[in-house]
Each structure stands twice: as structure tokens, then as C-alpha cells.
Amino acid sequence: MPTQNPVFIPGPTNVPDRLRHAMDMQTVDHRAPDFERQFVPLLQSLKSIFGTTSGEVFLFPSTGTGGWEAAVTNTLSPGDEVLAGRYGMFSHRWIELCRKQGLYVHAVQADWGDGVPVDEYERILAADTGHRIKAVLACHNETATGVTSDIAAVRRALDAAEHPAMLFVDGVSSIASMDFRMDDWGVDVAVTGSQKGLMLSPGLAIIAVSPQALEACHSSGCTRSYFDILAMRDANRAGSFPYTPPTGLIRGLRESMSMLSAEGLPRVFARHRRIAEGVRRAVGAWGLSLCAKRPELYSNTVSAIEVPRGFDSGVLVRHAYEHYGVSFGGGLGDVAGRVFRIGHLGDMTDVMALAGLAAAEMAMANLDYPIELGSGVVAAQQYYSATRNHWKQEVA
């Protein structure tokens, strides 16, 4: 009998059977001509999810963290200064990675639940008349808090200060699920991974690099070997890798891009908006609040939900798993114990979301949360029922 419920964590996400079957393959020769014929077009097709025509896309066997390291080590040198905000666990970890690489980080503290501190970024950049800051870092979608930041506003801050720093963006839990416009926003390096919106198993860091950032790779003083973008670029141009690639994941990635293309990216984004709004309606019906402080910050891929005072979200997450076999995300870092997270990205439908909301309600009721059983599910049902055809109008 089936035993696997969908997961409602913000990654790794559910893997559709179509992609599992694509990755279930016999050994292939990654030096053979047919690998080149399939791999080179894949790199071109990946540009669409980043929203770039001028950038180049690279795959590294790794995760999003490896993508961060590739971004930093290929374009910067020890002692360089970077500007970053700390407003969630993943923005915090990127700051720590930079420090370990010998970079000086201007770390701007912000409340967890807020987004990129754009005004403070602009003030610091305007004051940096010697242009010592070489890169500005931002998490587009802070997975720990369910906050989506305005990357276009970060670019406007750079432009207002007439500052030449490169812009690096973590899009791990947004790219392929939410609109991302690398070229329009002037992003120099964008990072994602295979296990989120692309609906695959973990194992691929996928990064898009602008011409300016590629030029910076030639003068970077940071040590790298495995994550060497220029070595990867040379191998990719010959349709290969500088080392053995994860051929199963790459085949799965080709199939994932086919699925996204068939649905159409505007429809993918509209589907995520609609599912997320239903989850938010449920949260409101429960009488609970999101960690994200304002509606314009609400994420369409993950909702971080604050538990009432006196409750521990970690206990809730464990109870849901042990009693119902359903996985939700726990709180991380500054919000550990205070929030639980519902991931609603990748292979997700409104019906699947309703199952997750029902399981969350049951777990909360078991633990004597002050909620009415069924209230959130009804609120989400009403929204999904009323909007079942609206997504078609959104993308018409």
C-alpha cells in the first residue's frame, strides 16, 4: 500500500513520477557525442527560468550552498568588501561563507520577517565613494522566514549611488517558481538548486553569470578548483564537464525544463501565487500570523507561520510527522521554536495544499492550539473554488 505522503517542506520538494522515471537510467558515456547534443541545448533552455539572454548558465554537482561558494570564489579576492543583509538563516549563512573566504562583510542587521534593507544598502553604497565594496548580496526569497525581497529595488539603490558593485542573488527557493528577471534587475550572479522549483532530487547547483561577472572571474584571487567557472565554461563549450557529471540528474533536469515549458512559466508563476494565497487564507482563519511582516513581502513558495505564545513549533512539526507521516519545515535560527513552515512550491496543486493544511490542523488540534478544526481548510477551499479559472485570465 502507498506510504509516502507529499512533503510540505520548502525543499527538497516532491519529485513527480515523470522526473523519477527520467532519472532512473542505465549508465551512459558522458564523453559520447549524444551527451553533448543534449547537454548544450539544456544550458540554453535554463536561461529562461533566470530571465536572461546575456548571461551564461553553469551546473555544478552540489547544492545552493555550493552555488554561493562558486559565486564568491570566482569573482572576488580575499580582503574584498561585500555588502549583505542578515534577515534570515540563509542570508546569515551566506555572510558566514563570505567571511570564511577572507572577505570583509558589511552585514546589515534586519528583523527576521523583513526583507532586504534597501534604504540602508543605498546609504552605505552612497558613502562608499572609493568603491571598496565589490559585491552586494541579497536573498530573493528567504526560505527561513517566507519573505520575498524586491531585487529591482536593490538595483535601483546601486544605480542611485552610481556604484559599480556586482549584484549577487540567492534565488534557491524562488527561481522556476516565481518571476525572476536577471537582465531587467541587473543581477550579476543568480543561484538556485535542483531540489526546489525544478522538482528534482538535491545534487545540482545551477548558477547564471552575467558578462561583467564572467570578466571578474579572470582576476579573482580566491582559491577554487572544483567550482572553477572558467574551467567549467571551457568544458561546457565542448559539450562536456571538467569531471564526471551527475548524468541522472542532468537527464531529470532536461525533463523538468520540458514540464515547465509545457505548462508555460507565466502559468507556473500564477499557480504558485494561487496556491500560496490559499495557504495564507487558511493561516488567517486559524487566527495565526505569518513571520513576513507585510503583504508585499509574502512569499509564494513558503509560508512561515508564527505559533501562539507558549507553544513550540518544533513539537508541532515532530507531532505531524510521527502521527500523520507529514513533513513541515521547522523554525531556524532566530525563529527556531517560533514558526513552522509550509512549503508550497514545485510539484504542488491546490488539492495537495489542502491535504497539507488538513494535516497541520489535526496536529495543532491534538496539541491544544486555539484553532477550530476545519477552519483553515474551509477558507482555502473557498478561495481555490472561487479562483479555479482565474489563473487562465492572469496569463491570457
Residue 254, classed as helix, strand or coil, is helix
Every domain range in the chain assigned CATH 3.90.1150.10: 264-394
| 390: confidence class by pLDDT, cuts 50, 70, 90 | low
| Average pLDDT for the chain | 96
Q: Report, in this order, helix, strand and coil percent for the chain, each rounded to 5.
A: 45, 15, 40
pLDDT in tens, 234-278: 999 988 999 999 999 999 999 999 999 999 999 999 999 999 999
pLDDT in tens, 248-257: 999 999 999 9
Using CA atoms, how far residue 305 sits from 31, 101, 293, 337, 353, in Å, is 48, 34, 11, 11, 15
| 71: confidence class by pLDDT, cuts 50, 70, 90 | very high
Specify whether the CB–CB gap between 114 and 120 falls below 8 A: no
Instruction: Give me the CATH topology for the region 17-261.
Output: Aspartate Aminotransferase; domain 2 (3.40.640)
> What local confidence, expressed as pLDDT, does residue 196 receive?
97
Calpha distance 47→56 (Å, rounded): 7
> What local confidence, expressed as pLDDT, does residue 30 receive?
87
pLDDT in tens, 187-206: 999 999 999 999 999 999 99
Question: Mean per-residue pLDDT for 283-297?
Answer: 98
Q: What is the pTM of this model?
A: 0.96
For the domain covering 264-394, report its CATH number: 3.90.1150.10
| 393: confidence class by pLDDT, cuts 50, 70, 90 | low
**Sign of the CA dihedral with 95 first, then 96, 101, and 104 last:** positive
Every domain range in the chain assigned CATH 3.40.640.10: 17-261
Calpha distance 41→364 (Å, rounded): 48
